Every structure is written in C-alpha cells, then in structure tokens.
Amino acid sequence: MKLSQEAREVLDTAKRHNRVNPDDEREIDELIALMPDDRSMLYKNVDSNPIGDFYRYSIHIRIQHLLIFTTFLLLAFTGLPIHYNTAFWAQPFNSLLGGLEVTRVIHRTLAVTMIFAMVYHFFTIGFGSLARLRARTFELGRTILPVWKDIRDFKEDALFFSGQRTVRPEMDKFMYKQKIHYFAAGFGNAVMVLSGSTFLFPEFWASILPASMASHFQEMMRLSHPHEALLALLVIAFWHWYNVHLAPGRFPMQWTYLTGKITREHQIEEHFLEYLRCIVSMPEERRYLRKLIESKKMWGTQPHD
C-alpha cells in the first residue's frame, strides 16, 4: 500500500512516540508495503469482535456519555409535560410525579447533573491534552478540533458514496461527521443551559443586561429552550441513533459507549490513521495482519500471488 503524505506523517509520528526500534520499524514498513492499495479489501476481510477490538474511549468519557444521555432522555421526558402542562396527558404525568412544581424540581436537578457532566468533560479533555503536551505526544489531527483535512475528507467521502471513488478517505480518530455532531451538541447544550438559566435567575439577567434588551432577551430564551430541545431530539433520533444503531456495520448497536472499544473493521474503514497508530503500538496486531494478508490469495498486488 502506498500511504498518503498525511498517513506517512502519522506513521512516523507514532513510531517516534512509541520509540520504535529499527527491527520493529522494518517490520512495520514491510507490513504497510504488503497491505492492499484497496483498503476495502482489508476491512471487508479482517476479523472483528463486535464489542470492540481497539481501545478508543477512557472510562471518564464513557461516564460522561452515560450521564449526558440519561439526563438528556429524562430532561426531554420531564420538559415536555412542563412546557405543555395544560395538555390532557401532561396533567396526570405531573400528578404522578407529585405536581408540576415537583416535575420542575426534577427537571432542574437533571439539568444540574448534565452541567456537571459537561464540566467533567472539559476537565477530562483539558487535563488529557495538557498531559499529552507535556509528554510531547499531542497531535492536533487526533483531537475533535476541526482541521482543513476534514473538508477534504468530506468531499472525498461524498465522492465515495456517489460511486466516483473506490475507497473512503484516510480519516483520523475523529472523522468530519463526528466533529460536526460534537460541536452541534456543544452548541445545543450551551443554548439550553443559557436559556434555562434565564428561567431560574431572571433577576440576575435583568441586572446585567441593558433595560432595553432584558425583556427581548428573556423572550428569546423562552422561545429557544423548547425549540432547541426539539432540534436536539431530532438530531439524536435521526442522526446519532442512525449512525450508532442502524448504519451498515453498526447494526444492531455499536458497543463503544459501553466497552470503550471500536471494532477492527470500523477502525480500518473510518479511522485508518488511528489504525496505523495501532499497528505501530501493538506488535500482536502486526502479527495478526501479516498472517491474514499472507493467507489471502485474492489480493492481486501482493508478492505472494
């Protein structure tokens, strides 16, 4: 396989970070040369454990996701009968919980838990990045931050899905779609927290905003809270859940949120640059892949054919 310039740079950086010895370096380069140019031949033929092969998310990230999604679901369930509190179905629901005021208290408690998860997340990625910077192993391309390559990946992936390209682009740990989703969720959470805070602390907002703006701001926040919630609900149900439950290769469920691991075929298909790092850091993966390549006769470009 002929690696792109970016993939070559990722590979060289991984070798440096892992302090690879010359023998291992030779082994890695030989393995890369043996790999088929058509990467789909790899991800269609490798063995994968459906609950995950490679480490991807720490326990902290998994706890944050768990907190965010449970509070999100419950916030939606309690927010709806608060917003439509006069509806025929909302009144028995609120009565079941102890009255509208109790539903509100539950909703606010859940909101505080969600905010805690967000703060926990900022600490995790902040300290994690600092630790990598200090160890000189930080790579911008490996983070969730958007880079120019994402635009090119998006274009190349669109070409692939429209049948004008044979392989998907070589993407990093987080692909363009995940970055869009992450920042959309971040924006949505910010809107919900800001608008929710104006319901809880109207005097505070009135005291810091100019008098001419305060009531307009309050009205804007009152409109945006339920509508942003609805937008988030749509994004989660029709985008996120499609990608992690229904998309080909993920059905019936992607296990990463529980195990913190990603399957081998998924890593090679959508996060090939991260897979290159696995090849460098995991000798057992090199042995597995070499054995697989040598046992397959269908790959026309291989020296064994």
Partner 1 sequence: MKTELKTWQKALAYGSLAFVLAWTAFGLYAIWLTLTQG
Q: Which residues bind partner 1 (CB under 8 A)?
A: 45-51, 73, 76-77, 80, 84, 87, 226-227, 230, 233-234, 236-238, 241, 245-246, 251-253, 255, 263, 265
The least CB distance from residue 46 to partner 1, in Å, is 7
Integer angstrom CA distances of residue 280 from 9, 58, 264, 291? 13, 20, 15, 16
Judge if the upstream peptide bond of residue 252 is cis by omega within 30 degrees of 0: yes
Can you tell me the distance from the alpha carbon of 71 to that of 93, in angstroms, rounded to the nearest whole number?
A: 18
Residue whose CB is less far from partner 1, 28 or 110: 110
The least CB distance from residue 102 to partner 1, in Å, is 21
The least CB distance from residue 298 to partner 1, in Å, is 14
Residue whose CB is less far from partner 1, 66 or 133: 66
The least CB distance from residue 291 to partner 1, in Å, is 15
Residue whose CB is less far from partner 1, 142 or 181: 181
Task: List the structure tokens of 303.
Answer: 């020296």
The least CB distance from residue 181 to partner 1, in Å, is 16
Residue whose CB is less far from partner 1, 72 or 272: 72
Phi-psi label, residue 57: left if phi above 0, alpha if psi -120 to 50, beta otherwise: beta
Residue whose CB is less far from partner 1, 203 or 284: 284
Integer angstrom CA distances of residue 153 from 7, 77, 168? 13, 37, 8
Give the SS3 label for residue 56.
Answer: coil
Residue whose CB is less far from partner 1, 89 or 161: 89
Sign of CA dihedral 141, 143, 148, 150: positive
Can you tell me the distance from the alpha carbon of 135 to that of 15, in angstroms, rounded to the nearest whole number?
A: 15
Can you tell me the distance from the alpha carbon of 110 to that of 231, in angstroms, rounded to the nearest whole number?
A: 19
The least CB distance from residue 281 to partner 1, in Å, is 23
Residue whose CB is less far from partner 1, 266 or 286: 266
The least CB distance from residue 107 to partner 1, in Å, is 15
Residue whose CB is less far from partner 1, 48 or 137: 48
Residue whose CB is less far from partner 1, 152 or 245: 245
The least CB distance from residue 122 to partner 1, in Å, is 27
| The CA-based dihedral angle spanning residues 156, 161, 163, 168, taken in that order and rounded to the nearest 10 degrees | 50
End-to-end alpha-carbon separation of the chain, Å? Answer: 15
Helical residues (DSSP H) of 84-175, grouped into ranges: 90-97, 100-134, 148-161
> Tokens 């869009």 map to which residue?
180
Non-local (6+) Cβ contacts of 199 within 8 A are 221, 222, 225
The least CB distance from residue 251 to partner 1, in Å, is 8
